[in-house]
A = this chain, B = another copy of it.
Amino acid sequence: MNLKIAVLPGDGIGPEVILQAKKALHAIGEVYNHEFVFEEALMGAIAIDKTGNPLPEQTLNLCLNTDAVLFGAIGDPKYDNNPNAKVRPEQGLLKLRKELGLFANIRPIKPYKSLIDASPLKREIIDGADFTIFRELTGGAYFGAKTLNEEGTHASDLCEYSEEEITRIAHLAFKAAQNRRKKLTMVDKANVLETSRLWRKVVQKIGESYPDVALDFLFVDNAAMQIILNPKQFDVILTENLFGDILSDEASVITGSIGLLASASLGEKNALFEPIHGSYPQAKGKNIANPIASILSAAMLLEHFGLFKEANVVYQAVEKAIEFKVVTTDLKADSKFGTNEVGEFVSNFI
């Protein structure tokens, strides 16, 4: 297979971890005779620094015209603590998601057997947990109109959803549930929010055409609790953009480290793959960032193109690294291995 892949390393630890993902893909290409052509481009704080724009035209065009995007991380503290900054790195990622129409963000959560003890949760709580979060990615408060009055004393964010936006991701989530344990949990705040009531109504209706999938509903406050109390109850979780952002970071504790979690963002035509951790600026350049989330994002990319055998080889290589404790310090405090060494191990194992 020939694939043209846009690579956006982004900010903070992004470049370091993406390098390891590329190495893994390169190794797969060699062994299985695929041609993966990588083309790098700027996005985020680094793009602002170099071009003034968090998503330069050139980057967007590249992404629109490749088979897939591999993305690292975005964000820089110099913008976070300056509420007056007009241009911010995250705008680049949000614009990219919107322009590529990446409406479904898929985040699988499943602890590795050999890492069960790395979690702050007790073994019996997490052993056997295995669920996937379907997060809507191009709607909600992320994209609604924002206002700030002239005096800077009053602000607003509009959360909006349409039936159509809910429908397209709901079908994906129901189909995923059909291929799994046939349970879908919709998370909302329908006792307070109008958008949540629309979600609930639309999803209830769509559920009728998936009679083999058991559908239930949880309020987001309760869901945030249930994910920790009893994560095994979940199979597929479906939710809106901001709730999905919060719940998926929270759910990362089940696996022991957010440095293990990959995600796929899918649209009608485009697909982007990224680790769910952020730019982790404190770790930048120190060779301590966990590259596994990025490497697993590359595996999700392979799966997306039907390269299941190849994806499995990557999953197995990652499992071996974990089993042999070739991991970064987020997983083993006294580990001697860094970002590079873990990445090397994985690509050598392929």
List A residues at the B interface (Cβ < 8 Å): 75, 79-81, 83-84, 88-90, 94, 120-122, 125, 141-142, 144, 146-148, 152-164, 189-195, 197-198, 200-201, 204, 217, 219-222, 224-225, 228-230, 242-243, 245-250, 252-253, 258, 278
Which chain B positions have C-beta within 8 A of A204?
A: 81, 83
B253 touches A201 (CB 8 A): no
Question: How many copies, total?
Answer: 2
Which among B158, B200, B219, B221 is the interface contact of A83 at CB below 8 angstroms?
Answer: B200
Which chain B positions have C-beta within 8 A of A191?
A: 75, 79-80, 88-90
* Bound CA span A243–B258, Å: 20
B246 touches A224 (CB 8 A): yes
The distance from the CB of A151 to the nearest CB of chain B, in whole angstroms, is: 8
A–B Cβ pairs within 8 angstroms, 21 of them: A81-B204, A122-B122, A141-B192, A141-B193, A144-B156, A146-B194, A153-B163, A154-B160, A154-B198, A155-B160, A155-B194, A155-B197, A155-B198, A157-B158, A157-B159, A157-B194, A158-B158, A189-B242, A220-B245, A221-B246, A228-B250
Which chain B positions have C-beta within 8 A of A189?
A: 242, 245
Which chain B positions have C-beta within 8 A of A258?
A: 225
Which chain B positions have C-beta within 8 A of A158?
A: 156-159
B228 touches A148 (CB 8 A): no
* Bound CA span A144–B192, Å: 11
Which among B120, B153, B200, B247 is the interface contact of A125 at CB below 8 angstroms?
Answer: B120
Q: Nearest B residue to A85 by beta-carbon distance?
A: B197
B162 touches A153 (CB 8 A): yes
The distance from the CB of A55 to the nearest CB of chain B, in whole angstroms, is: 15
B225 touches A190 (CB 8 A): no
Task: Indicate the member of A88, A94, A121, A147 with the most B CB atoms within 10 Å.
Answer: A121
